[in-house]
Structure 1
Amino acid sequence: MIRRFQSNSQLGMVQPLICFLHEKDQIWSAGGKWNSFLGRAITLGDREFLSNSNVADRPLDWATGCCMLVTREALLKVGLLNEGYFAYFEDVEWSLRFLENGYGIALASKAKIYHEAGASSKKAFGRYVECASVLSACKKPVIPTKKCLFWIGETFCFCLSYK
């Protein structure tokens, strides 16, 4: 991950390749792209098998909070994670602030960790927190409200359907 910083002085944040803890050959996250039209955070490589994926170092729109490395300079300029989020989406919102402040975000594909995905949200309370964070994000200046209409509807339907 440090080598990625050394190769590009404009980077402020780097994420490793993240695979599932119990399915070590399956990707949990290879970073993220932000769809500003829909107001959606899209996880790259989600559930792809390593043998079928073409994972390479690349620029990202957001890095997942389960593992990231940030520069001191960027941290001082961008600020800390938004404490208004209890869990979920704080990493996306923070990443978008990095981009707004001129810092790049990248995947370090040769660095890899294993993650126990869903450990914080295996119960209904976790889904409630996730939905609340998504709805709260639409109030933030970094995410224009008009771009969240689709997202709010989709999230509301998802929350209602969770049992």
Structure 2
Amino acid sequence: MDNGAGSYHRFLAGDDEGLYEIIMGYRTGLMLYLNSFVQDIHTAEELTEDTFAELAVNCPKYSEKSSFKTWLYAIGRNTTTKYLRKHSKLSIVPLESQKHLADEKNIESNYIKSEQKRIVHKALHSLRSEYRQVLYLSYFEEFSNAETAMIMKKTKRQVETLLYNAKQALRSELERSGFEYEE
């Protein structure tokens, strides 16, 4: 049982500190993952709050068939899917056009510090949603292919294929933008 699971069990037993530990431990990573769906950090922040509210209010059963983090990210994905279904008529505004809305303490701005990371970030956001998700889960959150498959509701083989194609698409996008690989 990992730390998140222990905190969740304590929360279910009446210790509110357990939920606080979960929020503090997972909010940034979960928010950035959900941003790969909605392409708007403010909406991703709201969806992250909705995910934690789901834990607090409905207290879903954690069966321990996967890591707590995998289970939590799957809840976040489901929350986001419901949101996207409900708001499917809204248009997505590219992050580049929202620079005037970001403040100096924007989480993504802090996360992306060097120029190369900015290029990679821009290239990632130009990829289709499934590619962004699989790359984010595999490389930023370091989920295994099996955990990624569980979160994305795919088979492990589908995730492996998706990951291969996503890396190829990212490489092409980076080469188009003039990215130079370090030797």
| Same-fold status (TM-score > 0.5) | no
TM-score for both structures, normalised by structure 1:
0.33
Which structure: greater helix fraction?
A: 2
CA radius of gyration, larger in: 2
Q: Kindly indicate which of the two structures has a greater share of residues assigned to strand.
A: 1
**TM-score, normalised by the number of residues in structure 2:** 0.31
